[in-house]
Amino acid sequence: MLIVRVLAEPVPPEASLLAFEKALSQAGQPLASAAMLDFCGEVLEIAIPEGTREIVAPLVEEHFQPQAALFADDFIEVPRLIVSDMDSTMIGQECIDELADFAGLKERVAEITERAMRGELDFAGALQERIALLEGLDEAAIDRCLKERISPTPGAATLVATLKAHGARSILVTGGFHCFADPVAERLGFDRVIGNRLLIADGKLTGEVQQPICDSSTKEATLREEATRLGEGARTLAIGDGANDTAMLVAADYGIAYRAKPNTRAAANGWVDCEDLTALLLLLDIDRERWVMK
């Protein structure tokens, strides 16, 4: 049974639902039921007995233009594990691009970042190439960048705090750097942080990163490791935006592409296209009165 939850504004009219039902029938995947969730009122839940995401997702987009959606093969539960990317996911920036601005190299570095996040470049190679460009940058630029440039994504702290209040463990895993991720994780309330480390000597960046590099395989392995610790049946949620998040999103029960690159979004089993991450709490049917506001 494919379960689909759709957050759309305005709420889809009956005509849209009827057109969607007809399109499903023509695709050989007849609708079983469709109703607004009791608590949220903003989320439409659809059940399709023989549904497949590959066929249904394009129809959902065509008929509802949702801000957010989630597809699952069974009853949707509140996850007991959340594993998230940091840059352009839990924060609104790419730290390495902002740091490069202090070296007058933001445009050059950002172009490499964009290509890497689209999957056009090997992540590890692209990371090392960008860090090499920052050789000699004063260490003080890190603290200044963190204070002046880095800010949480709207709803990020509330999402983490609310899921923790409902029993979830939270992990921030990033291809970025601990010097940014550690304070971000503390601010947002994550339980564990995994990332890369910039090498520094005599107060300046050496242009190198400590090995081994935290990459796509690290993110996926972290999710699987943490899920194993929780035991069988514990639902997992992963959130990310770029190519190095894709394997992690696919491995999770609920893999959410947040304002993501096209290939990453296509591989995920859910998406959030609006800015506010609390859209996920609505998709998970957590009543606003039970949110931990941060």
Q: What residues are labeled active site?
A: 85, 87
Q: Rounded distance, CA 212 to CA 228, Å?
A: 23
Q: Which helix (H) or strand (E) holds 107?
A: helix 106-117
Distance, CA of 238 to CA of 84 (rounded, Å): 6
CA atoms within 13 A on the CB side of 132: 7
Alpha-carbon distance 153 to 35, whole Å? 30
The CA-atom distances, in angstroms, between 138 and each of 142, 143, 203 are 8, 10, 6
d(CA 82, CA 279): 15
State the first-to-last Cα distance of the chain, in angstroms, to the nearest integer. Answer: 36
User: Which element (helix H / strand E) includes 170?
Assistant: strand 169-177
Enter the tokens of residue 276: 């506010």
Of the candidates 78, 51, 45, 77, the one whose C-alpha atom is nearest the C-alpha of residue 64 is 45
- Map residue 251 onto helix, strand or coil: helix
Cα–Cα distance for residue pair 98/123, rounded to 1 Å: 18
Structure tokens at 247: 């394997």
Integer Cα distance of 257 and 282 in angstroms: 16
**Which residues fall within 8 angstroms of residue 114, CB to CB, at 6 or more apart?**
none
